[in-house]
Chains A and B, each alone.
Chain A
Amino acid sequence: MTTLTEEPGVAGTAQDVVSVDGVSVTFRSKRASTSALGEVDLAVRPGEFVSIVGPSGCGKSTLLKVVAGLVAPTTGQVRLRGDVVAGPRPDIGFVFQRAALLDWRTAEGNILLQAEMRGMDAAAARRRCAELIETTGLSGFEKAMPHELSGGMQQRVSLCRALLHEPDVLLMDEPFGALDALTRERMNVELQRVCREAGVTVLLVTHSVPEAVYLGDRVVVMGPRPSRVVEELRVDLPPVRDYTAAMEDPEFHRVASRVRTLLGSPQGGD
């Protein structure tokens, strides 16, 4: 019921924003070849928020990089809006675990880097930037340098930068992994609001089970190497969720405990 196995062959459907078909990645060095990612299939619908959880080193980050076109798959292919990904894709936004800000630019300057690199219309970019600063609570920090910002603030800047060009897909790799628990919860609430407002499709890689379940319309659980998708769980909660209410919802607990079980004994289940 909650696993999505009832939709076989869903990958590659025209309506999917992201479709991952039999993608595996093997890194070859002189002697050994390391499998970073086993065969993975995944389909993401427009506006969907998909959380990806799995043990450390299972290739979650590699999967995101393949989707972004930063890493070429060894087998299989990824389609973004139907086009096969064959190199770095400009129609996505990427948020890394570290904010990866340019130290010599202000918060605003870092966000606008996106516009400058893309040659977007400057006036429109400034307006969009101001909106994003407003919605992410960065007001008053436009002119602050990265070193003057807290970790949470830096990550907000990074998020604004990733959303400036209104991408179809937002890829986030452990974006809040370096933040303290309280800031992380706050960022989760904001991220949900911002993403729903922007109507963007999101792939979020995380180690935090509550984060995955609270934010996700769907939680994809990956196993250890050779990593593949162990199970997909739909989260039957409204798209916009109150944090405390969601935490107390039986559905939240059902999904979270299932995810925990899967992560604890990846071969178990059925």
Chain B
Amino acid sequence: MTAVVSDRATVARQSRTAVRRSPAPARWWAAAWRPLTLVVAVLVVWWVVTAQGWLAPYVLPSPADTWAAAAENAAYLGQHTWVTTYETVIGFALAVVIGELVAVLMAYSPTTERTVYPIILVAQVVPKIAIAPLFVVWLGFGVAPKITVAVLMAFFPVVISGLAGLRSVDPEVIELTSTMGASRLKTFAKVMFPASLPQLLSGLKVAATLAVTGAVVGEFVGGNEGLGYVILQANGNIDTAMLFAALVVMSLLGIVLFLIIEIAERLLIGWHPSRRAATAATTVAGA
């Protein structure tokens, strides 16, 4: 029996080192080559279409024109990108904090849930772009209305996924912890919250991309800063190349935020089956 035990121990240890052994660049490449190929393909099609003159430059500028527009106005773009990034990140952070707080309140108190849920639902159903002008009236032309729209857009997925995560905790685990005589706070910190992370984090991915949208929607409605403003200006000047440049930067902003959460996921919930599957697949592909 001891032999069986030590056998299994060796196997477990070996499988753990096997995962570690495949070198980081190889794993990165194995995960990245497909999407990268697709991006290159899109660029090539884009370039061919514009180079052949099938579409007028003011309809579809060439990749080179877009790049030139971005490079010429790098400082201008950079300044407005910073504003949008700032609004997005603050809006996202506020949405996460408020959303998780509401989720926790709802998970622990059915009364709160019944009271608050309809309000949250109504706030979600109302088109944000329709109420954005109202925020300009209330909050002026600064960053405040933009952050507010970003919070409103990102808030809903945080609440829903946070609540679903807290609800997903194994009832036996909860019974078990109640025999351990721990306070609610301790149970939350050590059991409930960690167990809810996988669901919460997938909600955060949706929320991050919505926060970018929210900030830009806010910029469309009023003000003279941010990528939304840049797009409006470029549109007014029929400067399609600049418009495309702003669009690309905006997409990159969303992707970067998404990737940050992806990394957080890897660090925080490497134990979860979804992440284990991802690691295994990469290892197999890399082998």
Q: Is B173 a contact of A102 with CB atoms below 8 Å?
A: yes
Q: Which of A18-26, A145-153, A218-226, A231-239 contacts B (4 or more CB under 8 A)?
A: A145-153
Q: Is A96 a contact of B172 with CB atoms below 8 Å?
A: yes
Q: Does A82 contact B (CB under 8 A)?
A: no
Q: Interface digits, B172-196 against A, CB 8 Å rule (1 contact, 0 not)?
A: 1101111111100011001100110
Known: A103-B272, A116-B190, A148-B12. A137 touches B2 (CB 8 A): yes
Q: Does B160 contact A (CB under 8 A)?
A: no
Q: Is B178 a contact of A104 with CB atoms below 8 Å?
A: no
Smallest Cβ-Cβ distance to A158: which chain B residue: B176
Q: Is B182 a contact of A118 with CB atoms below 8 Å?
A: yes
Chain A residues contacting B39 (CB-CB under 8 Å) are: none
Q: Does B170 contact A (CB under 8 A)?
A: yes
Q: Is B1 a contact of A137 with CB atoms below 8 Å?
A: yes
A interface residues, tally (CB under 8 Å)? 33
Smallest Cβ-Cβ distance to A90: which chain B residue: B181
A-B pairs with beta carbons under 8 A, tally: 75
B interface residues, tally (CB under 8 Å)? 31
* A100 and B177 alpha carbons, distance in the complex (Å): 10
Q: Does B6 contact A (CB under 8 A)?
A: yes
Known: A117-B187, A145-B271. A68 touches B172 (CB 8 A): no
Q: Does B9 contact A (CB under 8 A)?
A: yes
Q: Is B191 a contact of A102 with CB atoms below 8 Å?
A: yes
Q: Is B271 a contact of A104 with CB atoms below 8 Å?
A: yes
Smallest Cβ-Cβ distance to B191: which chain A residue: A102
Known: A104-B194, A104-B271. A117 touches B177 (CB 8 A): yes
* A142 and B188 alpha carbons, distance in the complex (Å): 25
Q: Does A140 contact B (CB under 8 A)?
A: yes
Q: Is A68 a contact of B12 with CB atoms below 8 Å?
A: no
* A139 and B6 alpha carbons, distance in the complex (Å): 9
6 tightest Cβ-Cβ pairs between the two chains A and B? A90-B181, A117-B182, A140-B9, A117-B180, A88-B178, A104-B271
A-B contact pairs, 20 of them (CB 8 A): A68-B175, A69-B179, A70-B175, A88-B175, A88-B178, A89-B179, A92-B179, A96-B175, A100-B172, A104-B271, A113-B191, A116-B190, A117-B180, A118-B182, A137-B5, A139-B5, A141-B12, A147-B276, A148-B12, A148-B15
**B contact residues vs A (CB 8 Å cutoff):** 1-2, 5-6, 8-9, 12, 15-16, 170, 172-173, 175-182, 186-187, 190-191, 194-195, 269, 271-273, 276
Query: Contacts A70-B178, A118-B180, A144-B12 given; 11 further ones with Cβ under 8 A?
Result: A88-B179, A89-B179, A102-B173, A104-B269, A117-B190, A137-B1, A140-B9, A141-B9, A148-B15, A149-B12, A153-B8
